Chains A and B, each alone.
Chain A
Amino acid sequence: DAGITQSPRHKVTETGTPVTLRCHQTENHRYMYWYRQDPGHGLRLIHYSYGVKDTDKGEVSDGYSVSRSKTEDFLLTLESATSSQTSVYFCAIRPGYYSETGNTIYFGEGSWLTVV
């Protein structure tokens, strides 16, 4: 498996509190992504990064912010958690060079977040 570590793996938090999920990679890959997975919706892109301090919004970015101050770390913050943000969050990485595997996405194990 690719060297991706997500933390925490499981978290229960209260509505209105800020939450930060961390993704750490040891592959030195350029691209990093945050997806959320919900039944019937598949994997939806929240934010992604194409380099240190370079980030962009995905299709479901409202209520989320990200930061990437180092190549290896990509943080996802829920500014004020709501019950609709209860989900499984997957971090993913991609090398980005043009090759057979350059566009392959490698996923972390996932972070289960429950907002009560």
Chain B
Amino acid sequence: GQQVMQIPQYQHVQEGEDFTTYCNSSTTLSNIQWYKQRPGGHPVFLIQLVKSGEVKKQKRLTFQFGEAKKNSSLHITATQTTDVGTYFCAGLEYGNKLVFGAGTILRVKS
């Protein structure tokens, strides 16, 4: 079945440094989504990418979808303490199943 790999598993950065997490699927995806989960909370939708090569920005967050629609990345510029949490990518197969990566835990030192 479909597998979604996400790296790194964990990253600890100094406030103001950049952060990137990468996501790779074993199959071609119809779209990819990104979620953020604060400690003790539930995952919250950030963005969806649909088109090959698509790039979207949300303030300091930049999301990319690969040309082959099998990989994606989330880049945060100049991290802040409010960015702390776990970031998940989730790939939607051409069907109904949304499969999540294992997530990247981000910790920010102030």
Contact = CB atoms under 8 A, between A and B. Distances in A.
Interface of A: 31, 33, 35, 40-45, 48, 50, 56, 58-59, 90, 94, 96, 100, 103-110
Interface in B29-52: 31, 33, 35, 42-45, 48
Grouping DSSP codes into helix (H, G, I), strand (E, B) and loop, the B interface class, with mixed when no group exceeds half, is strand
A59 to B, nearest CB: 6
Contacts of B92: 103
Nearest to B30: A103
A31 B45 CA distance: 16
B13 interface: no
Contacts of A35: 100
A45 B48 contact: no
Given A40-B102, A41-B102, A44-B100, 10 more contacts: A40-B9, A42-B88, A48-B96, A90-B43, A103-B92, A104-B33, A104-B48, A105-B33, A105-B45, A109-B42
